[in-house]
Amino acid sequence: MRRVHILGAGPAGLYLAILLRKANPATEVIVTERNAPDATFGFGVVFSEETLGALRTADPQTYTEITDTFARWDRIDIRYRDRTMSCRGNAFSAIARIKLLRILQNRATELGAQLRFHTEIEDVSALREDADLVIAADGVNSILRRTITGFDAQTGTVGSTYVWFGSDWVPDAFTFIFKQTEHGLFQVHSYPYDEHSSTFIVETTPETWRKAGLDQVSEVDSMAFCQHLFAEELAGHTLRSNRSLWQHFPKIVNSTWSRENVVLIGDAAHTAHFSIGSGTKLAMEDAISLAAALENHSDLRTALVEYELDRKPIVERFQQAAGDSAAYFQRTEHLQDLEPPQFAFNLLTRSGRIGHGNLAQRDPGFVRSVDNWLHGKILSPPPLFTPLELGGLSIGNRVVAGSPETGAGLVIGETVAVTGNGRIHPGSPTLADAGQWPDLVESVHKAGALLGLRLGHAGRRGATHPPQRGRDIPLPADQAWPLISATDQPYGPRSQAPTMATEQELQQITAGFTEGARLAADAGVDLLELDMAHGYLLAAFLHTEFPFTVLEAVRAEWPVDRPLSVRLTVTDYRRGGLSEEDGIALAARLKAGGVDLITVTAGQSVHSDQPPYRRGYLTALSARVRSEANVATLVGGYLTTTDEVNTIIAAGRADLCFLEGA
């Protein structure tokens, strides 16, 4: 390769220039930047230990220069409700962005790269013709990505409204500050990057931002507002502005990262919300990967494919974690009822990459304090062993399973059909089996667990083979029974078409639920659950009053000193369908109707939906329902380890967890 043009002299472009010149001094590397060498929009840059290891291997000289100027810390402080909670064992380092750029500029120049500042690119086509390879390292507003078709860029925003300041206040830890005002909640992300300076990011929801009048003031007045608001924390120090304007964080996703002889790196290719501090890290790691691919392959197309295959899965994981983290900070207003220990734990585990076990390794004292608070004792077992008081019942631990032999605190088996035509498959239990329930209660109690019983009606998802043969496989016509639902549309392309339920049939179904509640109460069942999920009958009627009519009838029959639960589809993942906000509103209404627990589910309302199935995919939904509807929750979603359960319970994202395989 004879000539490489790099557009953009940020960390990604400069570091790639360094690595390309190191690998092959015969390659002409030209870096073009529209701004001045000392122009930078931001203050400090954070690096993790993992990233530093990659930098050390790629170019030891740059690594030494960068790390010689680092501010380092291992503590995170969370200031909330006039308390400061600290967690150690978090190895991070930071450097002033302008200092990082100077180091990279000097090193690139020393190795023979040509750096051209104050230079606009007028003709992208000419740039491409002049080089064997063109690198788009020109950030979120990349001119190359915007003018060259085929990248299929998806752009938008994530997270709350934020403004990025600097300050001469120097905390000795990464510091989160949460401050409630008459307008709403404001929060700060702050960290030191040298002995005299720190980054100070202020964030709030758009609603609070507008209520505070910040949409109507100048940059100077906005900074004065924030300085006054956080005067106590700043302790006489001041904020600094560098085009510090309120904005939303840009989200960039590209279907492909290269087109012919043009390739994207850094923010031109992808972004990750600042709350997990990965923007510069990902950009410089892109440069390392691309340089290695170009060195390994003489064929440009092969090298660019290898680069994308190497980096894209890693970046996608970071973007998922960053998106979860950004969404978390949008919802902290709803977490203000959490006590400080649980709030701090919730914050530290927000992205899903860190759990109870990981934090226990980093800072055993911090995790012990959370466990002790949760259990109410000085020496406490892990969170999953904390008893739960629910609707007059004490559940011995936080695990739910389908069998009492697992040691779970609560056992809930297969859904019991309240009418014959409400069975899912021929072997589904029905109310006719109620004579066996007292013995089942006794055996579960002997195993040290409590028994929950779920009542439901299959609706249009009935008359199928048992699930062991596959989901929603219809029975042959001569073995099936007539189905009813809210509409006459079949569930799936091969499913039997139901008839619309008549008023008389709905009354009979209500009577079946009521009779099931009475039989369960007489048998000594500890918890009763109504199935309003996954496209079964009650879920199909969630847009009507019918499920609430059933709830009212069951609540009148079920003892008030035993908990009542509802298995609820919170969102069905289809356009025009049930949104998360709709589901949360339903959960709040169910609680007002006497429900003690919501079992959070999602999807399967229609056959063609596409839920984002992954481990813990329901946990964020559960956290929203629990905090925004103010009701206890049970969550599953491919939870397979006790550490996941410990993390969810300690963070207050759910009150009970269904553990796969238990």
| Maximum separation of any 2 CA atoms in the chain, in Å | 86
Residues 151-173: tens digit of each pLDDT = 999 999 999 999 999 999 999 89
- Domain annotation covers residue 545: no
Per-residue b or e along 246-264, where b marks 16 or more CB atoms closer than 10 Å to that residue's CB: beebebbebebbbbebbbb
d(CA 253, CA 319): 9
CATH number at residue 142: 3.50.50.60
- Domain annotation covers residue 526: no
- pLDDT given at position 471: 83
d(CA 288, CA 18): 10
Place of tokens 């609820």: 568
Residue 403's contacts (CB-CB under 8 Å, 6 or more residues apart) are 411, 662
- pLDDT given at position 576: 77
- Domain annotation covers residue 204: yes
d(CA 313, CA 334): 32
- pLDDT given at position 632: 98
- pLDDT given at position 77: 97
300-330 and 279-296 are packed helices; what angle lies between their axes, rounded to 10 degrees? 170
d(CA 404, CA 382): 20
- Domain annotation covers residue 651: no
Element (H, E) at 124: helix 124-129
- Domain annotation covers residue 373: no
Any idea of the CA torsion for 606, 611, 616, 619, to the nearest 10 degrees?
Answer: -70
Q: Is this prediction's pTM over 0.85?
A: yes
- pLDDT given at position 662: 59
d(CA 315, CA 257): 12
Q: How far is CA 638 from CA 48, 175, 408, 658, in A?
A: 29, 33, 16, 9
- Domain annotation covers residue 263: yes
Instruction: Return the DSSP state at 274.
Output: G
The stretches in the chain having pLDDT less than 50 are none
CB 293 within 8 A of CB 304: yes
Exposed (0-12), middle (13-18) or buried (19+): which is 393, by Cβ within 10 Å?
middle
Exposed (0-12), middle (13-18) or buried (19+): which is 379, by Cβ within 10 Å?
exposed
The amino acid at residue 275 is S
Measured distance between the N- and C-terminal CA atoms of the chain, rounded to whole angstroms: 57
| β-sheet bridge partners, residue 263 | 135, 258
What values do phi and psi take at 22, rounded to 5?
Answer: -65, -45
Residue 524 CA neighbour count, 13 Å, CB half: 12
Residues 558-597: tens digit of each pLDDT = 999 999 999 999 998 887 788 999 999 999 999 999 999 9
- pLDDT given at position 574: 80
CB 521 within 8 A of CB 527: no
What values do phi and psi take at 337, rounded to 5?
Answer: -85, -15
- Domain annotation covers residue 159: yes
Exposed (0-12), middle (13-18) or buried (19+): which is 395, by Cβ within 10 Å?
buried
- Domain annotation covers residue 321: yes
Number of structural domains, the chain?
Answer: 1
- Domain of 192? 3-328
Residue 579's contacts (CB-CB under 8 Å, 6 or more residues apart) are 571
